[in-house]
């Protein structure tokens, strides 16, 4: 079970490489993640536009800037450099947040190639085992535009462990 695995996580990568507004929507989740993993080193990967906000968040231990966020997967050299950098950090898990119009699979694939064993994201599409744990959207994302920002991952701080247990018990097929 992922909930049991969480107890042993020491290095967690949280990826939110969309806009600064999208990053703001994940702040509550970052707080909850810190409560769930008080001893883990949490690194936040943001786009250049999210750098200033990311550096101000007290629940984050480190901030990585994804310079290629605006041109994802158009420069293989940039992506290979990113994979090598992530590999050096030896992350135990990654949590990938995307906006409703984006798939988590490209970022999950980068994490896969970097050797990150636990890759959590939200998607309605089937992407094989690129996401090791896939959270299905709850259905209200079309109305609220919140898919992937975290509300479905960690509904509230007291419920965060239960949400993890309920959402991530089974790995993706």
Q: Is there a contact between 164 and 116 (Cβ–Cβ < 8 Å)?
A: no
For 162, other C-beta atoms within 10 Å of its C-beta total: 13
Please give the share of the chain, as a percent, with pLDDT higher than 70.
71
Q: Structural domain boundaries of the chain?
A: 2-168
Give the per-residue pLDDT at 116. Answer: 96
pLDDT surpassing 80 at residue 131: yes
- Confidence band of 170 (pLDDT split at 50, 70, 90): very low
Which secondary-structure segment (H or E) carries 105?
Answer: helix 105-113
DSSP string, 22-65: HHHHTHHHHHHHHHH-TTSEEEEEE-GGGHHHHHH-TT-SEEEE
**CA distance linking residue 24 with residue 167, whole number of Å:** 23
Phi, psi for residue 41 in degrees, rounded to 5:
-85, 120
pLDDT tens profile 12-51: 999 998 877 888 888 888 888 898 889 999 999 998 888 8
Helix (H, G, I), strand (E, B) or coil at 49: helix
Give the per-residue pLDDT at 133. Answer: 81
pLDDT surpassing 70 at residue 141: no
Give the per-residue pLDDT at 149. Answer: 46
Q: What is the mean pLDDT of residues 164-173?
A: 38
- Confidence band of 63 (pLDDT split at 50, 70, 90): very high
Quick one: 33 exposed, middle or buried, by C-beta within 10 A (0-12, 13-18, 19+)? buried
pLDDT surpassing 70 at residue 92: yes
pLDDT surpassing 80 at residue 2: no
Task: DSSP letter for 159, please.
Answer: G
Q: From 173, 121, 110, 109, select the one nearest 147 (Cα to Cα).
A: 121
pLDDT surpassing 70 at residue 72: no
Give residues with Cβ within 8 angstroms of 53, minimum separation 6. Answer: 20, 23, 24, 46
Averaged pLDDT of the chain: 76
Q: Is there a contact between 95 and 140 (Cβ–Cβ < 8 Å)?
A: no
**CA distance linking residue 109 with residue 119, whole number of Å:** 9
> Which segment of 34-48, 138-152, 158-172 scores lowest on mean pLDDT?
158-172
pLDDT surpassing 90 at residue 124: no
Task: DSSP letter for 15, please.
Answer: E
Domain covering 2-168, topology: Rossmann fold (3.40.50)
């Amino acid at each position: 079970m992922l909930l049991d695995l969480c107890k042993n996580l020491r290095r967690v990568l949280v990826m939110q490489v969309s806009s600064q507004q999208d990053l703001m929507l994940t702040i509550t989740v970052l707080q909850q993640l810190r409560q769930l993993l008080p001893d883990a080193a949490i690194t936040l990967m943001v786009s250049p536009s999210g750098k200033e906000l990311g550096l101000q968040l007290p629940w984050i231990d480190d901030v990585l800037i994804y310079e290629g966020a605006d041109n994802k997967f158009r420069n293989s050299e940039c992506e290979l450099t990113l994979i090598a950098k992530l590999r050096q950090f030896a992350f135990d898990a990654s949590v990938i947040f995307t906006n409703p119009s984006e798939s988590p699979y490209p970022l999950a694939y980068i994490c896969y190639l970097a050797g990150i064993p636990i890759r959590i994201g939200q998607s309605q599409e089937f992407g094989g085992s690129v996401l090791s744990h896939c959270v299905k959207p709850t259905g209200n994302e079309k109305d609220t535009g919140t898919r992937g920002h975290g509300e479905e991952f960690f509904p509230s701080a007291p419920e965060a462990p239960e949400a993890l247990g309920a959402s991530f018990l089974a790995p993706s097929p």
